[in-house]
Amino acid sequence: MEIFSSPTVFALFSRAASMVVILLLAFFMVQAARAQEYFDKIAQTGQAIPGVDAETQKSNQSQVVWYQGYWWGVFKESNSGHWFIYRYENNTWSANATTGITDGTEADAHLDEASGKLYVLVSTNAKRVSRLSYSGGNWVLDSGFPEFVDIDASSDNPACITRAMDGDLFVFWVRGGNLKGVYSSDQGVTWTLPFIITSASTAITDAVAFRYLGSNYIGLFVGEGSGSKRFLFRRLSDSADPTISSNWVAETLPLIPSLDGDDHANIVRDADHNLYAIGKYADSNKFYLFKRYKNNGEWDYFKIEPNYGTRPALAIDEANNSLVILGTVRKSGELDKIQYTVLDKDNLQDVIGMEPWKPALEDGINNFSEVTVSYQILGNSSNLMVCGERDSSPGQVWYNLLDLSDIALPVFMAFFSATTDAQRINLEWGTHSEVNNWEWIILRREGEQGEFHELARLPGFGTTNFFNRYSYADEGVQPETVYYYRLANVDFDGTIHYYPELVKSSLAPISTFALYPTYPNPFNAQTTVRFEIGEAARVQLDIFDVSGRRVRRLFEGSLQPGSYNYIWDGRDDRNEGVASGVYFLNFSAGNYFRAEKMVLSK
């Protein structure tokens, strides 16, 4: 007992106990740090740009551009409140040049790639346009800039800047019940007084330069948040006087029954000069996507319906033939996130529900909104820079560089159809090509309002450039119940891609024969042939040219009652591409016959 009561031994035990406590604390701190690091990796997508204010605002403005191998951003420095050009290099944003604009909010940028000129508009309060020239890897503010522009855009509905193909610069906005504009014919040195294009109530507008039937145009897409609550489109020939309102040609957009428009708008064009515009409908939290076809100027629309959505934007990925749709999107009860979904831009489809959406910006703690992306035609060399605001105190601008080759749809669908017999629904689909396709997931829901549930899985063909056909028989169905089916595929790394294509069917057989108009038409890559047959019949699909020569037998065989989709890819029976022109689709099923005209325009 005296040994353990010795002061020396007691001191040794005390030191040992202290060391144990310290080691335990260090262990738990390391584990906590690892747990936090793991949580951050799970919950966080993207990261903050240090030292800039949360000023990305609405998606009719592009604050990032791709040029000379770099991403460039127009951001407001927190300390000074001045607007700077930032460069993204080695995963870091850094200030590169001043714009000379020292106040104001809501910025938009437009790049003249041919001359190496960058134009920056700050529309609210500042009312200034700056011009910078690219030299030696840096941007340099041109002498005499920024210039005053007489605009009165509000912070809720800021202005946008664009450049016509003849070189004129335009700024557009809506205020006081009118869609207005100003323009400059001397690279932004002098600007006209405001002119009125048409009436519009509490609206926002976005602009794009495009070519149509051999002429160059400026196009305006407008979303109204009050009054008539319409979506509008106006175009102006480069050769026409912008200040004369009658020179702005109105085009009718498809109307969505029972839904009103809202002041959310974004428009882009692809390399073929097809136009894509997206807006939000009031009180619905739904987007509607419009497409204008280059050959005939006709418009079509598609439903983009997440559980909750606002502030939509578009980006063109020409390398992968994709249209990227972005916005503030979430499930009910969740935090707002910047999310995206990808469509084949030549075969647009409705997007219903949350499965196709993936996060671009989130941290698991705060809300994100106000996405901004480039209006440019992008590809694998640029990828896609996404910026948005984190709703925190203070607010931050976050960014994420999406790999376009990675987010592109890995499977090129050819068709997806459903047929019925007495006791089951038969699904069939085909693919032109597949990349890393481990397996398919078949999903089904009952009725229009139900949730999709996994029905079955089938193995994929991995990576292949050959046509592959799949089928599945759903025997767990009830009479007089309508079922909806969709597909998803799983990559070898476990990534799931949901496809927007839907088919619906029920055990009640289709009672008529019908051939529907091919879509799209005109087309430049492929078009979809859709038909229904009400009873078992021998079906033949032939394509003829204007001389009456058959160029392709698309299908020949016996089919059961049901709906069918087939793709014509513009190739003949020898698998050689045919020339642009008019073609005729002949459809025969039993005693039923119908023909449809198609226009191929390459």
Kindly indicate the confidence band of residue 54, based on its pLDDT and cuts at 50, 70 and 90: confident
Same domain for 113 and 212? yes
Lowest mean pLDDT among 118-122, 156-160, 283-287, 501-505: 501-505
* pLDDT of 264 over the 60 cut: yes
Q: pLDDT tens for residues 464-522?
A: 867 789 999 998 887 778 888 989 999 998 888 887 666 777 765 556 788 888 888 88
Distance CA 19, CA 244 (A): 85
- For residue 256 the two structure tokens come to 């969505």
The model carries a pTM of 0.70
- For residue 421 the two structure tokens come to 């017999």
Higher pLDDT, 597 or 135: 135
pLDDT of residue 225: 83
Kindly indicate the confidence band of residue 3, based on its pLDDT and cuts at 50, 70 and 90: very low
* pLDDT of 311 over the 70 cut: yes
Same domain for 486 and 586? no
User: 44 lies in a domain?
Assistant: no
Same domain for 553 and 474? no
* pLDDT of 98 over the 80 cut: yes
Helix, coil or strand: residue 195: strand
Mean pLDDT for 537-562 is: 88
Distance CA 504, CA 482 (A): 7
User: 473 lies in a domain?
Assistant: yes
Helix, coil or strand: residue 13: helix
Same domain for 125 and 173? yes
pLDDT of residue 258: 64
pLDDT of residue 19: 56
The sign one gets for the Cα dihedral 517, 518, 520, 523 is negative
| Beta pairing class for 537-545 and 550-559 | antiparallel
Same domain for 306 and 431? no
- For residue 64 the two structure tokens come to 């990032």
pLDDT of residue 39: 39
pLDDT of residue 71: 98
* pLDDT of 209 over the 60 cut: yes
pLDDT of residue 102: 96
Q: What is the CATH number of the domain that holds 173?
A: 2.130.10.10
* pLDDT of 216 over the 80 cut: yes
DSSP secondary structure of 253-287: PPPPTT--EEEEEEEEE-TT--EEEEEEETTTTEE
User: 284 lies in a domain?
Assistant: yes
Cβ 494 vs Cβ 452: under 8 Å: no
Mean pLDDT for 198-202 is: 91
φ, ψ (nearest 5 deg) of residue 151: -130, 155
pLDDT of residue 464: 80
User: 193 lies in a domain?
Assistant: yes
pLDDT of residue 38: 41
> Tokens 């799983």 correspond to what residue?
490
φ, ψ (nearest 5 deg) of residue 245: -60, -30
pLDDT of residue 35: 43
Distance CA 416, CA 563 (A): 9
Q: What is the CATH number of the domain that holds 587?
A: 2.60.40.1930
* pLDDT of 4 over the 80 cut: no
User: 15 lies in a domain?
Assistant: no
Higher pLDDT, 285 or 127: 127
Higher pLDDT, 130 or 496: 130
Structural domain for 565, as ranges: 514-600
* pLDDT of 22 over the 70 cut: no
Same domain for 147 and 278? yes
User: 108 lies in a domain?
Assistant: yes
Lowest mean pLDDT among 35-49, 356-370, 446-460: 35-49
Q: Cβ contacts of residue 116 below 8 Å, gap of 6+?
A: 67, 133, 134, 135
Q: Which of 457, 483, 506 is the last residue of a domain?
A: 506
Q: Cβ contacts of residue 371 below 8 Å, gap of 6+?
A: 56, 59, 311, 313, 326, 327, 328, 338, 360, 361, 386, 387, 388
Same domain for 560 and 499? no
The 8 Å CB, 24+ separation contacts for 113-118 are 113/67, 116/67, 117/187, 118/65, 118/67, 118/72, 118/85
Higher pLDDT, 129 or 581: 129
A 10 A CB-CB count for 478 gives: 9
Same domain for 446 and 537? no
Higher pLDDT, 313 or 528: 313
Same domain for 139 and 251? yes
Among the ranges 301-310, 379-388, 554-563, which has the highest mean pLDDT value? Answer: 379-388
Helix, coil or strand: residue 302: strand
Mean pLDDT for 558-579 is: 88
Q: What is the CATH number of the domain that holds 500?
A: 2.60.40.10
User: 454 lies in a domain?
Assistant: yes
Q: Cβ contacts of residue 555 below 8 Å, gap of 6+?
A: 539, 540, 541, 566
Mean pLDDT for 292-317 is: 92
pLDDT of residue 6: 54
Q: pLDDT tens for residues 68-85?
A: 999 999 999 999 999 999
Same domain for 96 and 149? yes
Specify the number of domains making up the chain: 3
pLDDT of residue 509: 54
Lowest mean pLDDT among 103-112, 221-230, 245-254: 221-230
Distance CA 65, CA 242 (A): 27
Distance CA 212, CA 216 (A): 6
Mean pLDDT for 90-99 is: 96
Mean pLDDT for 238-253 is: 97
Higher pLDDT, 209 or 38: 209
Same domain for 278 and 150? yes
Cα 206 to the center of its chain, rounded Å: 15
Mean pLDDT for 330-340 is: 92
Mean pLDDT for 239-246 is: 98
A 10 A CB-CB count for 242 gives: 21
Q: Which of 457, 485, 506 is the last residue of a domain?
A: 506
pLDDT of residue 478: 78
pLDDT of residue 25: 55
A 10 A CB-CB count for 18 gives: 10
pLDDT of residue 42: 45
pLDDT of residue 226: 83
Kindly indicate the confidence band of residue 272, based on its pLDDT and cuts at 50, 70 and 90: very high
Mean pLDDT for 222-236 is: 90
Distance CA 110, CA 406 (A): 27
Same domain for 592 and 472? no
Cβ 602 vs Cβ 527: under 8 Å: no
pLDDT of residue 37: 45
Mean pLDDT for 130-141 is: 97
Which of these, 226, 207, 227, lies nearest to 217 by C-alpha position?
207
pLDDT of residue 578: 92
22-33 exposure pattern, b = at least 16 Cβ within 10 A, e = fewer: eeeeeeeeeeee
Q: Which of 472, 506, 540 is the last residue of a domain?
A: 506
